[in-house]
Amino acid sequence: MTRRSTARTTRRLAGGVLLFTGVLLTSQCAPRSPDSARANASDAAAAAQKVYVAPGDLDPYYMFASGGHSGQVYVYGLPSMRHITTIPVFTPYPATGYGFDDESKKMLGNLTWGDVHHPSLSETNGEYDGRWLFVNEMNGRVARIDLRDFKTKQILGPVPNVSGNHGSAFVTPNSEYTMMASRFSIPIPKGTYASVDKYATDYKGVVAGIKIDPKSGEMSVGWQILTPPFDWDLGDAGKKASDGWMFWSSYNTERATGKLEVTASQRDRDYIAAVDWRAAEKAAADGKGTMIGGVRVLDPKAIPGLLYLLPCGKSPHGVDVSPDGKYIIGSGKLQSVTVAFSFDKIQAAIKNKDFTGDEDGIPVLKYESVKEAEVPVGLGPLHTQFGPDGMAYTSLFVDSAVASWKLGQWQVIDKIPVSYAIGHLSAAEGDTVSPDGVFLVALNKLSHGRHLPVGPSQPEASQLVDISQEKMKILTDAFTEPEPHYAQIIKADKLKPVEVYPKEENTHPLAVWDVKDVGVTRQGSKVTVKMVAVRSAFYPQTFEVNEGDTVTIAITNIEQTTDELHGFGLLDYNTNVVIDPGETKTITFVANKHGVFPYYCTNFCSALHQEMQGYFTVKPR
Amino acid sequence: MTRRSTARTTRRLAGGVLLFTGVLLTSQCAPRSPDSARANASDAAAAAQKVYVAPGDLDPYYMFASGGHSGQVYVYGLPSMRHITTIPVFTPYPATGYGFDDESKKMLGNLTWGDVHHPSLSETNGEYDGRWLFVNEMNGRVARIDLRDFKTKQILGPVPNVSGNHGSAFVTPNSEYTMMASRFSIPIPKGTYASVDKYATDYKGVVAGIKIDPKSGEMSVGWQILTPPFDWDLGDAGKKASDGWMFWSSYNTERATGKLEVTASQRDRDYIAAVDWRAAEKAAADGKGTMIGGVRVLDPKAIPGLLYLLPCGKSPHGVDVSPDGKYIIGSGKLQSVTVAFSFDKIQAAIKNKDFTGDEDGIPVLKYESVKEAEVPVGLGPLHTQFGPDGMAYTSLFVDSAVASWKLGQWQVIDKIPVSYAIGHLSAAEGDTVSPDGVFLVALNKLSHGRHLPVGPSQPEASQLVDISQEKMKILTDAFTEPEPHYAQIIKADKLKPVEVYPKEENTHPLAVWDVKDVGVTRQGSKVTVKMVAVRSAFYPQTFEVNEGDTVTIAITNIEQTTDELHGFGLLDYNTNVVIDPGETKTITFVANKHGVFPYYCTNFCSALHQEMQGYFTVKPR
């Protein structure tokens, strides 16, 4: 029925890489010998059973995947890899009306896209607690999604001084903070002009702690730490042994401009930053630092003990803390080893001032003093995830492979090719203090030839890997929209979302719960329409305003039945919202066109859905 | 590993339905007796193998599904049911930059959403030819997607006089036309005010033919036919025997307003319209009709022979023409039978003036004279799709089931429960003159309990059904975003999309193909930046303008390698576009904020993707 496509190396590395690394890049795709055909068929049959979730059955895991520059979060079930829902976060999404009603439009502000990178589930004692999901995006923002209803409840930012918020939204083990770091340094505060040739001196990076309210999840800007104009890349919070610390990788510690693929690759090592965030919190509370752009900014040169630099192979990408908190894993992204730094050794080196120099007054620790081991994982180690019993899994971009190895033993156990050019990888509960193992998802950057052709704009490929045995096995390929940088996988039974908003909890001032209370009121040229949506009609069924009026329509869906959503589409006025059971939403606009404009239910509701319609008439001036 | 969720009836019918239909609605969900557990397990194992597409293998079918009020088209592979890509059509989509570059922004106009309903693949001699996909949306528009590159190339509309373009975008057997019909009548031309109490007299419907250029696919408004204020619902083009005719279903032929679930259900029958579109084309070419809203509108009272009405059970939904063109299938949406109307009998009745009356001068044919058979499919027949050898499959909303039956025999062969409340259904090549059979997808309206809970905003459920045997079998459940009203399934080998735009074909006036040709030019306060994107840098790497300048950036991706896309994200200026290999895109904006603004590649490209960045500086006034 299907044809086997030729497995092709589609690894596309710039010519510059050879200069950059000096390593020879040879094709390392999965070999497929004719002898292995039978074994493959039997493997395929077993894999088919493992990923099949029969109609009516449920997946045991959720995966929350970043949607990259789509601006959204995509939710999958594992092992079926079925896309279950899309959570709109930074981009308007008329499928749910997000970005069209007054409240969400205000939350989005002037930006209608975002570049989501690293979903981070809230934690209690280092375990995912199923309360919230935090996601960052590059325009300096971080959002909180409530897992009670899978809705975006807050977008914080753009946060002052943070430009290119890539090193985010990593939460600390008790969700004290979600962290931020600027990938692109700029003169701060934002809006300051300085020519690019002043980059090394006048441009600044910051790393930032965003405080999370433990009850409500509400985020607020905490403190920022000033840094040299390095490009901060990725981060991870310390846990257990290293709780209270935060780690970020960097590139371009050359402070270069121009063609970075050359200029930012001159030095053999860049850094991993080790930040004592409890010390930063205390310094900020003590009123240290200066206010820049409205935020308390701490200078680590003036306040020693906040920030240390660990030398790391050039241009590291991921930095990942082991479940016990004892090791920080990172490496140059074109090395052939990944490095385990010891938290104990870092502390000893700090105590002994075992420094090799400084960067703008920030101490640089001695590599040999903080390194625990170099693990020969293969070429291009980017990210590491964890399983139980000290198991670790490192993605290898250049090799297009995943290597498994063990903490403490520092030797590779298994290696499996993936297709192709893997970036991040995500293991079940892989960022917690007690990872599950079982499944791992390879988030591959290139998908060519793995799916039906869809033109130049190709989807992203992810592969589900069985890691329940020592020998890893690819189970299935799945595809998604651009671009799942990272994902987290949580046990399904940790989430208990509501499906209906209880009437008692609706405190919206314009909510009406009875058809007799609907109506149109006017104050000058301001018209307010209190509307009810309930199977299978809108009340009122028609209403009229004058051209030029400002109209606010507040719609309450008075259903208290699961899956009983109503949509309100108003033609020619660029309006569509969806109102969930028990919810009230408002839309405000100026009636600047006269004529007759139908409204109708856009979200299927019942056998008489098609009849759920009305007319908005605008009398000419 | 997974838990079996209780199969629940979640059929949610308004209380009004009982009044409406007089039928007793009993629960008819899939029974699951303990005895059948073993059989179920073996069925599940077989189904798992049937839907599994091993890593590296390709699906044999594409499915193009409407994204409803998401405004987009979703593309799936069958039988894996994997979502492969999203085609942005009516809603901006930063994942590809659609709606952010000058060209696509202009195409979208002032609307940032659409309500997509019925994808319609272009046809040659009644077969899908794999050239284009046409999709309608409710704000009176229709779009053309080029299947050479899976991109939206044209959005026509809002078309004058058409309000609520639901009965669209059905193409004729040689893609002469894509059709439109207004679901919500209004006073025409648009912008005319008339109070809703003048509905029956002053509000008008239209059905419209949109001409397709046979070479380029370019659409243009052809003609419109004026109709009484009925709500036109769905349509299908005649084929073979009935080629040259078009059929639309209607509701609210009562011409009622207010609570339609009551007021529009007073008569026992509504109508299916039979339109002789070749006659309409000729009348328009002969200069008949009058210009309304800039379009030639034909009045069927003044021009006999254009339009006839077939009485049909009240509020029909789908109307579907059999592969041989001999039968038109439709029925009241709460009947227990579906009806086959005979095209030959319709022609005879027209010839014999076998009319029972008229509606505003439009003849109503006698039901008994045009009916061929009533097929006892079960409760709530909505849509019918076709297989080979006269097989027909009807979706049953009230029964939550699919019934199979045979043309000519008019008896039900099999019936299978689906979960839940099926709307449309789609069979492989099911709208062509030679349907494939093999697979059918049930597009169900309610999904509760079939997937991991995701809060009040639940996904849509679709189920893949094996129709290769007489006994139908459910193979798997899949989920998607709201709301796949309809889908079409085409053989994968009919499409041969390009993956790179050849350099020779790029005729963009601002394209540059060599790094030495990039640069910034100024005319007064207008600045034009010709930019190149190529692994792993933008050229120029920095550029500067003055505050208040109007800036046009034209970016050419000079790669000629598949999957080698580059994104251009400009922070704080709400800009992200993706440029495919060989493509040039432009962005124009006013530099209304001074300071330093990073730009960077948002779409993964190579090992040095992270280094692909630059600075846009804006000097203060």
Judged by CB atoms closer than 8 Å, whether chains meet at B454 and A605 is answered as no
Task: Give the tokens for residue B254.
Answer: 């009562």
Residue A1 has pLDDT above 60, yes or no: no
Task: Please name the residues in contact with B569: beta carbons below 8 A apart, sequence gap of 6 or more.
Answer: A69, A115, A138, B575, B576, B599, B600, B601, B602
Q: CA of B427, closest CA in chain A: separation in Å?
A: 17
Q: Provide the Cα torsion B171, B174, B176, B180; round to 10°.
A: -10
What's the confidence (pLDDT) of residue A13? 33
Place of tokens 């028990």: A582
Residue A65 has pLDDT above 70, yes or no: yes
Task: Please name the residues in contact with A357: beta carbons below 8 A apart, sequence gap of 6 or more.
Answer: A364
Judged by CB atoms closer than 8 Å, whether chains meet at A476 and B52 is answered as yes
Strand partners for B235: B248
**How far is the CA of B261 from the CAs of A511, A604, B20, B21, B315, in angstroms?**
24, 15, 8, 11, 10
Over residues A458-468, mean pLDDT: 95
Over residues A492-515, mean pLDDT: 97
Place of tokens 């970075």: A260
Give the containing element (helix H, strand E) for A356.
strand A355-359
Residue A549 has pLDDT above 80, yes or no: yes
More confident call, B569 vs A11: B569
Q: CA of A568, closest CA in chain B: separation in Å?
A: 10
Q: CA of B439, closest CA in chain A: separation in Å?
A: 12
Residue B493 has pLDDT above 70, yes or no: yes
Reported as a single tens digit per residue, the pLDDT across A311-358 is 999 999 999 999 999 999 999 998 999 999 999 999 999 999 999 999
Reported as a single tens digit per residue, the pLDDT across B249-305 is 999 999 999 988 888 888 889 999 999 999 999 999 999 999 999 999 999 999 999
A579: closest CA among A608, A554, A606? A554
Task: Give the tokens for residue A69.
Answer: 């520059």
Computed over every residue of chain B, the mean pLDDT equals 93
Judged by CB atoms closer than 8 Å, whether chains meet at B574 and A113 is answered as yes
Label residue A439 by pLDDT band (50, 70, 90).
very high
Over residues B478-489, mean pLDDT: 93
Q: State percent of chain B over pLDDT 70.
A: 94
Contact list in A for residue B111 (CB cut-off 8 A) is 574
Q: With H, G, I as helix, E, B as strand and everything else as coil, classify residue A501.
A: coil
Task: Give the tokens for residue A101.
Answer: 């009603």
Question: Which amino acid appears at position B308 of this protein?
Answer: Y
Write a three-state SS string for A212-231.
ECCCCCCEEEEEEEEECCCE
Judged by CB atoms closer than 8 Å, whether chains meet at B259 and A501 is answered as no
Task: Give the tokens for residue A475.
Answer: 């189970």
Q: Provide the Cα torsion B416, B417, B421, B424; round to 10°.
A: -20
Dist. CA B218–CA B154, nearest whole Å = 7
Reported as a single tens digit per residue, the pLDDT across A389-399 is 999 999 999 99
Q: CA of B2, closest CA in chain A: separation in Å?
A: 5
Task: List, as one string, the DSSP characters of B26-88.
Answer: ---PPP--GGGHHHHHHHHHHHHHHH---TTB--SEEEEEE-BTT--EEEEEETTTEEEEEE-
Judged by CB atoms closer than 8 Å, whether chains meet at A607 and B333 is answered as yes
Reported as a single tens digit per residue, the pLDDT across B137-183 is 999 999 999 999 999 999 999 999 999 999 999 999 999 999 999 99
Judged by CB atoms closer than 8 Å, whether chains meet at A112 and B92 is answered as yes
Nearest to A68 among B60, B85, B95 (CB): B95
Label residue B35 by pLDDT band (50, 70, 90).
low
pTM: 0.94
Residue B449 has pLDDT above 80, yes or no: yes
Question: What is the DSSP pairing of strand B295-298 with strand B219-227?
Answer: parallel
A465, A503, A596: best to mutate for the B interface, most B CBs within 10 A: A596
**Cis bond upstream, residue A536 (ω within 30):** yes
Computed over every residue of chain A, the mean pLDDT equals 93
Q: Are A534 and A527 in contact (CB under 8 A)?
A: no
Contact list in A for residue B3 (CB cut-off 8 A) is 57-58
Q: CA of A260, closest CA in chain B: separation in Å?
A: 5
A11, A49, A69, A418: best to mutate for the B interface, most B CBs within 10 A: A69
Out of A335-339, B21-25, B48-52, B362-366, pick the least confident.
B21-25
Contact list in B for residue A184 (CB cut-off 8 A) is 571, 598, 600, 613, 615
Nearest to B561 among A12, A95, A457 (CB): A12
Nearest to B595 among A191, A477, A541 (CB): A191
Label residue A7 by pLDDT band (50, 70, 90).
very low
A571: closest CA among B183, B84, B320? B183
Judged by CB atoms closer than 8 Å, whether chains meet at A82 and B478 is answered as yes
**Cis bond upstream, residue B367 (ω within 30):** no
Contact list in A for residue B445 (CB cut-off 8 A) is 604
Kindly identify which residue of chain B lies nearest to residue A21, measuring between CA atoms: B607
